Structure 1
């Protein structure tokens, strides 16, 4: 993608509609959560098999929780159960149930992979050479992302689909919600260059000035304008990549399964460049298969949606997945942030099947490059998942869909629960050490009452709980080495085992800091603080040391306070809590070490590192090419007539009405422009919000570019 040079003006007819096809919209209205939806469809499922699968998961979870709770009661019952001990037991039961639930799904995934009997949708066996009869739209939403890298990924996928011979069945839409005016114009420049290089007219670009409802609103806007022309849409993220073979197989699966509304792939993390992102990439690649396979095994046609790298039946989505605004103020009210879970639940409520295809492959994404970036993304997801508390009571939802919503909520609520659990343990120890016990309570007693717990039994309960967390990792290792193709795609089995041990140690040290971050996030949300819409730093981003020191100071302080409290009780208690305390005290060194870019993956190498898939390799090659030269939004439009004509055609015509709300930024920009004698003055005087307003108004933009230029 060479730098775009100034081109002669296109005829108006050539530029007209250059960015978008003719509109063909579908109605998409917000659904009602307080009214059940009459199900007109009944997907064919193996109900008896699913019943036994779900009994295995939930009965196993219940038995493990009861057994662990009974043993924990044996720890605290010696000498009577105090109020603090009762609270400790209650939190332990809730947390153990959460761990046991994940453990049972992992065991199921291991058994399925070991026996070779997949429990999800067998999409991997669909023939990618089958001729497709349907039309599919590839949707790539973006918000202030790097246009050069975005177009590299888009072009790599476009070429990969074209390589299957079925590219004519796909149209590609770059759906921009970008607010930065410079990035907006760079997107348009890169898009024009992309269309020229590919020589194709099935590539489209739409910029939305009104960012209502964020990504879900972006997709809904596309459905209302263009959805009727397509049978399916494959929704991507800005960092998504999918191979052409996978895309064609997904479409074929939808054509041959008319009851399906959505098929979700399992994205694999690629392009990790820092130690932190390599840890995520390695963990997802090694442990992900048994978790996703286990979930698909018992979810059946009530699976979930992760918001990207999935194919969706457009009419089912338009008719049943319109999201309502939640009542009340932000952060709980307003537009639903984590829209994917809710959209899947609403389509399943209408009788459509939602499937997961974990064995498919060819689906990729990137991960956050540091603990801080992971925590920032997690903060937004936390708010979105806690919003689901308002969706849970919706009438008519399938009970498995409610489990998905509860799982999303629980993934964040458990962080403050673990913190409270640790604090309760400290308080009980401090109470026993510093508060004088009442050995002879009021009333007749032959023997004194000694405050104590059973330390040996406590050690066994702790070991068993840790086992539920660690055993799935080794089951994932056994599943990996038991399959010849998977085993050969990694490095030597012993090296993978050492990688698992190293990842487990580092993850255990990082986990306490994430517990603090998530606990703070939950607290902020409960206090009414909105997360906003922040731009994500992708895998290639660098983190400033000052930012690491500032943001990891709180976990470090928590670790010091917890360590001092434990040491004040006894050295054994300090040693007992040392894994958590060490992770918190070392938060800053860990943050610095894991955010640095590393040239080699080392122990955490994955098959995608050793032999990058063609679509990933092609995207990286394109991203490494020289970038388009850029001088500024207004300057670029003035210099490039082709870009200016295309941009003006894409901007909605002004339709002013009496007494309508005044756009303050546009009004200010108009006033400033009227006082400017030259183009250079206007460029210097207008701020970013005003430039954005000018770019959205054809008449004002033309007025600006027509100003005389005083420069050379």
Structure 2
């Protein structure tokens, strides 16, 4: 990318066909000089261990922790399966349908048993306490702080960058960091808003800004391609990169600790922090925020301990060694078409596995404070994001067998896959359970079977054992929540910040109740996503909604009407079959019947703030917001007042010649167009701009794709600038 723009002497519309030669501009380039770093595409079918990094020292595996987690989960699963067999085999004979129920129960029980034993491990470690080391006196390496953006609100993203820079500089080690906003935006208004925010922030920071901006003409391979493009073109100038999301915030000490941890461990490839959710106010988001703060550390700590140096990566708020990333993370396209083929969607798990395969470690620092993110504001917003995650995790079934992976990396893939397969398995278990009760109530016993027997094959259940097994399952399912609650209650500062012991317990009960009501809705949504993926339906990549706004009632009804209808039909059928079946299924039925009002309530700002005024669902970060969050909020409001996100891109460029020149300067040099290869969007944009009498007509005529074509063309930009106001 060069600091260049179009020649000022283009006058005739006919000249638009041949773009003018750019000339230098008297201000700094948007990006530093390129420092290429080779990033070969990885072979998933073959791996030579000699080609990877050779660790500087030997590191042991946490075998004892793994034996506790996986051995304990296996024993619990075996016990649960045995008890379930006793439940269904009370009559001395077991039908095929009962065996199906046993198999489904065992699979589902194994999933929650593994989460339980991992939480127990995390609880025991946190009970002993974890310490954060002191800040280093100096850093000898350079780190690029990179924020990929995709049609985001610039007021928030640039406020986050500005607040983080101030925090990092306050540590006295700010010279070790440069800042990059890497745009993949496909909307013209978002693109120009980003450039305006970038130029304004760079001007405020002055000559030592070390702030850079790049927009990709095509968002090839999405976020993974965005980061890969940066590493392969500029990564050679930096030892590490700190990867953020558009809603990320990290304090200066947190960032410096991550950089120091990288310096101290020459074998580290990725060091992941544990982001806490902040700044959320809708009912659903505050429930998520509370759960992540109170229960999240228990689960994350257990995962960190048993993973050891074979950890996982969540795609943001982590520091990565650029050389390791370039060496190991060139992701290939998978054979076939999406959803299982094409580019890797959930790239973060794969990058962690490949970096580990190459000999670098992947670790987590769950006790490191100062790492934050935000969350979607409503159930429907989560469902939109979850659809993409479901496809990415199921796509890992094509990657889990990659040659040379560590066993723990395969387990991370298996866990991600199981997290989405669990929903249709749970749904199948409910269906089979209903079928068995229906069979017991209405189907006559089969006296004359193909096998000799003294008694008919008649499905029966042991109600006492069934109740005991239900209690065991609920206990294991809720145990991580109770363990997190216990740790919060014995931690004085946390307990007081959450409103005291009584409010903390009430908040946990509210979270458990709402989660129980939402669970069957989420089950159907995830099951639908899995079925769509298996049918070959690809997902898009829509930007995540990060505000606290509610969703229109009509959209909620359209999204959940079938959930409500299924709940009503299931409730009536269950009651007609047996009162006991209706009572057993009542939590699931209630959640589905109330799907529409629950989803509506989830996005309501008033409900969330009402509980906040009562001191419920409070977190320490909500009671006393981190300084960086408060500062980012002030900066975001200031940026919003500038109206960058509300401005029309073409109008802004037309009204500000300096902005138009800067935008042209930031465009990459276009490759020569082959003769006869006509871009229809560019051709139509050219025709419309030439014919337009003024900027208002051009705005009205140009489609979004034609706008993007115009914004990539220096000659068309020059013609646009000469239109009448």
Written as runs of structure 1 = structure 2, the 5 A alignment for 1:600-615 is 600=610, 601=612, 602-615=615-628
User: Conserved in 1, the CA contact under 8 Å of 2:76 and 2:113?
Assistant: yes
Written as runs of structure 1 = structure 2, the 5 A alignment for 1:376-415 is 376-415=384-423
**Equivalence for 1:647:** 663
Q: Structure 1 residue aligned with 2:184, among 177, 187, 190?
A: 177
Q: How many residues align?
A: 692
Give the drift of 1:15. Answer: 4.6
Q: Given the alignment of the two structures, is residue 130 of structure 1 paired with residue 137 of structure 2, yes or no?
A: yes
Q: Given the alignment of the two structures, is residue 212 of structure 1 paired with residue 223 of structure 2, yes or no?
A: no
Give the drift of 1:115. Answer: 2.0
Q: Structure 2 residue aligned with 1:343, among 342, 346, 351?
A: 351
Q: Structure 1 residue aligned with 2:67, among 55, 78, 81?
A: 55
User: Conserved in 1, the CA contact under 8 Å of 2:660 and 2:717?
Assistant: no
- Give the secondary structure class of the aligned counterpart of 2:241: strand
User: Conserved in 1, the CA contact under 8 Å of 2:183 and 2:213?
Assistant: yes
User: Conserved in 1, the CA contact under 8 Å of 2:690 and 2:719?
Assistant: no
**Equivalence for 1:5:** none
Q: Distance in 1 between matches of 2:156 and 2:453?
A: 77
Give the drift of 1:439. Answer: 4.6
**Equivalence for 2:43:** 32
Give the drift of 1:659. Answer: 4.4
Written as runs of structure 1 = structure 2, the 5 A alignment for 1:567-578 is 567-578=575-586
Q: Which runs of 5+ in 1 are unaligned?
A: 1-10
Q: Which runs of 5+ in 2 are unaligned?
A: 1-21
Q: Structure 1 residue aligned with 2:194, among 177, 187, 190?
A: 187
- Give the secondary structure class of the aligned counterpart of 1:577: helix
**Equivalence for 1:702:** 718
Q: Given the alignment of the two structures, is residue 424 of structure 1 paired with residue 432 of structure 2, yes or no?
A: yes
Q: Given the alignment of the two structures, is residue 67 of structure 1 paired with residue 79 of structure 2, yes or no?
A: yes
**Equivalence for 1:7:** none
**Equivalence for 2:446:** 438
Change (3 A) 1:537 1:449: closer
- Give the secondary structure class of the aligned counterpart of 1:624: helix
Give every structure 1 segment of 4 or more consecutive aligned residues whose post-TM-superposition deviation is greater than 4 Å. 11-17, 43-46, 439-450
User: Conserved in 1, the CA contact under 8 Å of 2:101 and 2:433?
Assistant: yes
Give the drift of 1:662. Answer: 3.1
Q: Structure 2 residue aligned with 1:682, among 680, 698, 701?
A: 698
User: Conserved in 1, the CA contact under 8 Å of 2:231 and 2:322?
Assistant: yes
TM-score by length of 1: 0.94
**Equivalence for 2:708:** 692
Deviates more, 1:476-485 or 1:269-278: 476-485
User: Conserved in 1, the CA contact under 8 Å of 2:95 and 2:457?
Assistant: no
Written as runs of structure 1 = structure 2, the 5 A alignment for 1:3-402 is 15-38=26-49, 39-42=52-55, 44=57, 47=60, 50-79=62-91, 80-116=93-129, 118=130, 124-125=132-133, 127-199=134-206, 200-402=208-410
Q: Distance in 1 between matches of 2:508 and 2:519?
A: 16
CA RMSD of aligned residues (A): 1.8
Deviates more, 1:210-219 or 1:619-628: 619-628
Q: Given the alignment of the two structures, is residue 505 of structure 1 paired with residue 513 of structure 2, yes or no?
A: yes
- Give the secondary structure class of the aligned counterpart of 2:341: coil
User: Conserved in 2, the CA contact under 8 Å of 1:259 and 1:353?
Assistant: yes
Give the drift of 1:58. Answer: 0.9
Give the drift of 1:632. Answer: 1.7
Give the drift of 1:476. Answer: 1.1
Change (3 A) 1:442 1:608: closer
Q: Structure 2 residue aligned with 1:628, among 635, 642, 662?
A: 642
Change (3 A) 1:451 1:183: closer
Q: Structure 2 residue aligned with 1:460, among 456, 468, 475?
A: 468
Change (3 A) 1:421 1:443: closer
- Give the secondary structure class of the aligned counterpart of 2:115: helix
User: Conserved in 1, the CA contact under 8 Å of 2:56 and 2:266?
Assistant: no
Q: Structure 1 residue aligned with 2:488, among 480, 488, 492?
A: 480
Q: Distance in 1 between matches of 2:36 and 2:97?
A: 60
Q: Distance in 2 between matches of 1:226 and 1:289?
A: 35
Change (3 A) 1:43 1:440: farther
TM-score by length of 2: 0.93
User: Conserved in 1, the CA contact under 8 Å of 2:121 and 2:302?
Assistant: yes
- Give the secondary structure class of the aligned counterpart of 1:603: coil
**Equivalence for 1:669:** 685
**Equivalence for 2:5:** none
